[in-house]
Chains A and B, each alone.
Chain A
Amino acid sequence: MTEQLARVRNLRISFGGTTVVDGVSFEVGAGECLALVGESGSGKTITSRALLGLVPRSATISADELSVAGEAATEFDESHWQGIRGRRVGLVAQDALVSLDPLRTIGQEVGEVLRVHSRREKKPLSRQELAAAVQAELAHVAIPQPVSRARQYAHELSGGLRQRALIAAATIARPRLLIADEPTTALDLGIQAQVLDLLDTLKREGTGLILISHDLAVVARIADRVAVMQHGRIVETGDAASVLSAPKHEYTRSLLAATPGLHAKGERLGTLPPVVLAPAAPVDRSSTVLSVRGVSQSFRQPGGGRIQAVDAVSFDLRAGSTIGIVGESGSGKTTLGRIILGLQKPDAGEVLLDGAAWSALPERRRRERRHSIQAVYQDPLSSFDPRLTVGAILRESLALTGVARADLKARAAELASQVGLGGELLARRPLTLSGGQRQRVAIARALARNPRVLLCDEPVSALDVSIQAQVLDLFADIQAQLGLAMVFISHDLGVIHHVSDEVLVMSNGVVVERGPSGDVFSSPRHPYTQALLSALPDPLSTLEGAPS
Chain B
Amino acid sequence: MSVGRPDLLELARPAAGRRRRTVPPVGAVAGVVLGVLVLAAVLPWIFTGADPLATATSDSQLPPSLEHLFGTDKLGRDVFSRVVHGAGLSLSFGFTATLAALILGILIGVASGLAPRPVDNVIMRALEIALAFPELLVALVVIALLGPGTTNVIVAITVAAVPVYARVVRITTIQVRQSAFIEASVALGQHRVAIVLKHLLPNVIGPLLVLATIGIGTSIIAGSGLSFLGLGPVSPTPEWGLMLSDGRNSLGTAWWIAVFPGLAITVTVISTTVLGRYLQGRFEGRAR
Interface residues of A (CB under 8 A from B): 16, 50, 55, 57-64, 66, 73-74, 341-343, 363, 367-368, 370-371, 373-375, 377, 379, 382-387, 396-397, 400, 445, 449
The answer to whether residues A58 and B180 also contact, given A374-B188, A387-B202, A387-B203 and a CB cut-off of 8 A, is no
30 chain-A/chain-B pairs, Cβ below 8 angstroms = A50-B3, A57-B8, A57-B9, A58-B8, A60-B9, A61-B2, A62-B2, A62-B3, A64-B1, A74-B3, A341-B187, A367-B191, A368-B189, A370-B186, A370-B187, A370-B188, A370-B189, A379-B180, A382-B179, A383-B180, A383-B184, A384-B184, A385-B199, A385-B202, A386-B203, A386-B287, A396-B188, A396-B198, A397-B188, A400-B188
**Cβ A63 vs Cβ B3 within 8 A:** yes
Q: Which residues of B contact A371 (CB under 8 A)?
A: 189
**Cβ A57 vs Cβ B180 within 8 A:** no
Closest 3 CB pairs of A and B: A370-B189, A383-B184, A382-B180
**Cβ B9 vs Cβ A377 within 8 A:** no
Q: Which residues of A contact B4 (CB under 8 A)?
A: 55, 57, 59-61
**Cβ A343 vs Cβ B3 within 8 A:** no
Q: CA A63 – CA B13 in complex, angstroms?
A: 23
B21 part of interface (Cβ distance < 8 Å)? no
Q: CA A367 – CA B192 in complex, angstroms?
A: 10
Q: CA A367 – CA B1 in complex, angstroms?
A: 67
Q: Which residues of A contact B179 (CB under 8 A)?
A: 382
Q: Which residues of A contact B5 (CB under 8 A)?
A: 57
Nearest chain B CB to A429's CB is how many angstroms away? 11
Nearest chain B CB to A6's CB is how many angstroms away? 14
**Cβ B181 vs Cβ A382 within 8 A:** yes
Nearest chain B CB to A313's CB is how many angstroms away? 20
Q: CA A57 – CA B5 in complex, angstroms?
A: 7
Please classify the interface of chain A as helix (H, G, I), strand (E, B), loop, or mixed, using the class held by over half of its residues: mixed
**Cβ A385 vs Cβ B181 within 8 A:** yes
Q: CA A476 – CA B76 in complex, angstroms?
A: 87
B190 part of interface (Cβ distance < 8 Å)? yes
**Cβ B9 vs Cβ A449 within 8 A:** no
Q: Which residues of B contact A59 (CB under 8 A)?
A: 4, 9
Q: CA A61 – CA B9 in complex, angstroms?
A: 11
The answer to whether residues A386 and B181 also contact, given A62-B2, A445-B188, A449-B188 and a CB cut-off of 8 A, is yes
B128 part of interface (Cβ distance < 8 Å)? no
Considering the complex, give the chain A residue whose CB is closest to the CB of B10: A60
Q: CA A382 – CA B13 in complex, angstroms?
A: 33
Q: CA A379 – CA B184 in complex, angstroms?
A: 11
Residues of chain B from 110 to 169 with CB closer than 8 A to chain A in the complex: none
Considering the complex, give the chain B residue whose CB is closest to the CB of A364: B192
Q: Which residues of A contact B2 (CB under 8 A)?
A: 60-62, 74
Q: Which residues of B contact A382 (CB under 8 A)?
A: 179-181
Q: CA A59 – CA B4 in complex, angstroms?
A: 7
Q: Which residues of A contact B180 (CB under 8 A)?
A: 377, 379, 382-383
B12 part of interface (Cβ distance < 8 Å)? yes
Nearest chain A CB to B223's CB is how many angstroms away? 34
**Cβ B181 vs Cβ A73 within 8 A:** no
Chain B, 171-208, contact with A by CB distance < 8 Å: what is the 0/1 string? 00000000111011111111110000011001100100
Residues of chain B from 1 to 58 with CB closer than 8 A to chain A in the complex: 1-6, 8-9, 12-13
Q: CA A291 – CA B188 in complex, angstroms?
A: 20
* Among candidates B1, B206, B287, residue contacting A63 with C-beta atoms closer than 8 Å: B1
Q: CA A396 – CA B287 in complex, angstroms?
A: 22
Q: CA A60 – CA B1 in complex, angstroms?
A: 11
**Cβ B184 vs Cβ A375 within 8 A:** yes
Q: Which residues of B contact A57 (CB under 8 A)?
A: 4-5, 8-9
* Among candidates A55, A342, A377, residue contacting B184 with C-beta atoms closer than 8 Å: A377
Q: Which residues of B contact A387 (CB under 8 A)?
A: 202-203, 206
Q: CA A445 – CA B188 in complex, angstroms?
A: 8
Q: Which residues of A contact B183 (CB under 8 A)?
A: 343, 383
Q: Which residues of B contact A363 (CB under 8 A)?
A: 186, 192
Nearest chain B CB to A48's CB is how many angstroms away? 15
Q: CA A396 – CA B184 in complex, angstroms?
A: 12
Nearest chain B CB to A46's CB is how many angstroms away? 12
Nearest chain B CB to A364's CB is how many angstroms away? 9
Residues of chain B from 257 to 288 with CB closer than 8 A to chain A in the complex: 287
